[in-house]
Structure 1
Amino acid sequence: MRIAIASDHAATELKADLRDWLVENGHEVADLGPEPGESVDYPDYGAKLASVVADDTAERGIALCGSGIGISIAVNRNAAVRCALVSEPLSASLAREHNDANCIAMGARLTGSDMAKACVTAFLETNFLGGRHQRRVDKLSNLKDS
């Protein structure tokens, strides 16, 4: 699978760990940055990630920051992307099954490497159920400001 991964400066270590693990498991991974030691703004990297998922350069995306909250908000600014903040495998599976999430976000200060890998595994191995969930997902892509 083609996977893009991006973080802010608080999550470069977890990003590198996940990137290497994903490559070892046969995935094509685009590391969108940043490099360790750079102080960066999570909205910039969230926007980069959302862009490559929205244009199908990557099939799925993994967004990381200190808490996962800020970067998930940034990624979700793109209407073509559905990014779920997850902290354990069940939420990652449900994000795929019910919401057809094409990105997940995690917090490096809150989620250790082993748990992050378990979340990514659930996210990548779970299929969207469709059915009654499809119309709800369709609505997410067509929300208008009131």
Structure 2
Amino acid sequence: MKIAIGNDHAGTEYKLAIVGLLKAKDIEVSNFGTDSAESVDYADFVHPVAQAVEEGKAEIGIIICGSGNGACMTANKHQKVRAALCWTKEITVLAREHNDANILSLPARYIALPQALEMVDAFINTSFAGGRHERRIEKIPCR
């Protein structure tokens, strides 16, 4: 599995921990995020993640900013991207099972780091359920 990850300054600590988790699982990671706490614009780091997913260079993506909203909105401007802003493990599982989300957006200022790691683990280990959810996904324009 190959995962693209990107973050702004609010998500640096989380990104570094997530990359460590993924590498420990022998997952290839493309890091498009900042490694600094200096203020940056999230879109500059989210677009490359969404593009990697859109072009099939990464199977899934993980994006992190303070609220998760700006990053999620940015990613969802890309074709073939279904980014989901998640704040619990349960919402994360449903985003994958029901919505076939391929990018996880994390709100670094509103979830604890252990919770974020648990959510990433759930995201990479949950599959799309298909069935009745498939017809709903097909109704999302330009996907």
TM-score range, shorter chain: over 0.9
Aligned to 2:134, the other structure's residue is in SS state helix
Deviations 1:46-89 (A, max 9, x none): 21111001111110100000111110110111121001001111
Q: Look up the match of 2:91.
A: 91
Q: Look up the match of 2:58.
A: 58
Report the Cα distance in structure 2 between the residues aligned to 1:49 and 1:36, rounded to whole angstroms: 18
TM-score (norm 1): 0.93
Q: Look up the match of 1:81.
A: 81
Q: Look up the match of 1:12.
A: 12
Aligned to 2:140, the other structure's residue is in SS state helix
Report the Cα distance in structure 2 between the residues aligned to 1:114 and 1:128, rounded to whole angstroms: 24
In structure 2, give the amino acid aligned to 1:130: G
RMSD value, Cα: 1.3
In structure 2, give the amino acid aligned to 1:7: N
Moved >3 Å (runs of 4+): none
In structure 1, give the amino acid aligned to 2:15: K
Q: 2:7–2:15: 8 Å Cα contact kept in structure 1?
A: yes
Aligned to 1:140, the other structure's residue is in SS state coil
Alignment of 1:61-72 (within 5 A): 61-72=61-72
Report the Cα distance in structure 2 between the residues aligned to 1:36 and 1:44, rounded to whole angstroms: 14
Deviation at 1:11, TM superposition (A): 0.8
Q: 1:80–1:141: 8 Å Cα contact kept in structure 2?
A: no
Aligned to 1:95, the other structure's residue is in SS state helix
Report the Cα distance in structure 2 between the residues aligned to 1:141 and 1:49, rounded to whole angstroms: 20
In structure 2, give the amino acid aligned to 1:58: A
Quote the sequence identity (%): 42
Farther off after superposition, 54-63 or 26-35: 26-35
Number of matched pairs: 143
TM-score (norm 2): 0.95
Unaligned runs of 5+ residues in structure 1 are none
